[in-house]
């Protein structure tokens, strides 16, 4: 059984509200959005916080979601790495279920200090969702089985 953190609104058109985390804090998911045409592109803030880098994480997620590779976890990992995120700090779930069907959602993450940037996409998710949450007790960002990032 695959279990991963992420946010899936019951109504894909609704914006999810605050979600409690295991440490008692709350996070408010922000649906991935494409910047306005006249807005400067989001840029990685190497010495910034996870929250500082959420705009670029969300922009990369939205760009991949809008592409033909929207159902490929590797596409998100590769695009995030190209944007400057550390590939060795990433996790991604499988693109297919254990019986070979396309995954209803894919989660991917980047550990940023003691926080995680997490994205979730897929037919069950509706529009992409991106959040910042604390690192899990065991030091990872996603719960359950993830696929090796060995490319």
pLDDT band of residue 25 (cuts 50, 70, 90) is: very low
State yes or no: pLDDT of 115 exceeds 70. Answer: yes
Task: Give residue 130's pLDDT.
Answer: 98
Q: What is the pLDDT of residue 39?
A: 53
Number of H helices, E strands in the chain: 2, 7
Q: Between these two residues, 36 and 101, which has the higher pLDDT value?
A: 101
What is the percent of the chain with per-residue pLDDT over 70, rounded to a whole number?
73
Asked if the model's pLDDT at residue 133 lies above 80, the reply is: yes
Label residue 149 by pLDDT band (50, 70, 90): very high
- The string of pLDDT tens digits covering residues 59-78 is 999 999 999 999 999 999 99
Is the CB of residue 135 less than 8 Å from the CB of residue 22?
no
Evaluate whether 142 touches 46 at the Cβ level (below 8 Å).
Answer: no
Separation of alpha carbons 86 and 18, rounded Å: 28
Q: Where are the domains of the chain?
A: 28-33+49-151
Has residue 34 got a pLDDT over 50?
A: no
Calculate the CA dihedral of residues 87, 6, 73, 45 and round it to 10 degrees. Answer: -40
What Rg do the C-alpha atoms of the chain give, in angstroms?
Answer: 14
């Amino acid at each position: 059984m695959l279990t991963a953190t992420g946010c899936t609104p019951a109504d894909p058109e609704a914006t999810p509200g605050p979600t409690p985390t295991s440490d008692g804090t709350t996070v408010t998911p922000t649906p991935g959005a494409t910047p306005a045409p006249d807005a400067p592109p989001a840029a990685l803030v190497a010495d910034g916080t996870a929250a500082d880098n959420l705009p670029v994480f969300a922009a990369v997620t939205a760009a991949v979601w809008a592409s033909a590779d929207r159902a490929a976890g590797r596409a998100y990992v590769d695009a995030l790495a190209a944007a400057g995120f550390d590939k060795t700090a990433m996790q991604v779930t499988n693109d297919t279920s254990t019986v070979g069907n396309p995954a209803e959602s894919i989660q991917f993450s980047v550990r940023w200090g003691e926080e995680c940037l997490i994205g979730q996409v897929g037919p069950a998710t509706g529009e992409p969702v991106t959040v910042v949450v604390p690192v899990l007790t065991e030091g990872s960002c996603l719960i359950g089985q993830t696929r090796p990032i060995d490319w």
